Amino acid sequence: MVMNYDYSSSNGTIYITSGGEDANEQHFRFIHTGNGKYKIEITHANGGVMNCYCDLPVTNGAKVTAMRSSDNDTQRFYVKPMGDGTYVLMSASVPGLAVTATSADFHAALAILPYDESNRLQRWSFSPNPAITTTIVTTTAKPTTTTTTKIT
């Protein structure tokens, strides 16, 4: 299963797909914004950034969508390593909430739900695409080369 940006929808839905066709809408760029937080940019031309569709503070059950960057904590996430090669994307606004697939079904939506260490629908792995490289500036003011990432 792969995280996928639906560029054809009016609200920029991000959902789960079973396809691993390596399409551009399945690539995301993690940009460090300081204090361990990341903005997750969608590399598709119509993309924007991953967003919790709600006001601050982020609320339980909020949909995960794509929006134009507004540089607030509805669009920032902590990346928590789980020690098994998977990661949990935690809300930077309310750290007890995590990006979660609402089911393991094809085209399942993503939502912000309470973190549960045993919930496999909150765990993501990253597959770098070495063909796409960009330079970002981190809070250390030192340029860092990173690769676009496919989230599976």
Length of the chain: 152
Q: Quick one: what percent of the chain has pLDDT higher than 70? A: 71
Question: Model confidence over 34-84: pLDDT tens digits?
Answer: 999 999 988 876 668 888 877 667 778 888 888 888 888 889 999 999 999
Q: What is the pLDDT of residue 49?
A: 86
Tell me: pLDDT of 142 over 60: no
- Nearby residues of 77 by Cβ (< 8 Å), 6 or more positions away: 37, 38, 39, 40, 50, 89, 90, 91, 92, 99
130 confidence band (pLDDT: 50, 70, 90): very low
- pTM for this entry: 0.79
| Mean pLDDT (whole number) for 79-98 | 91
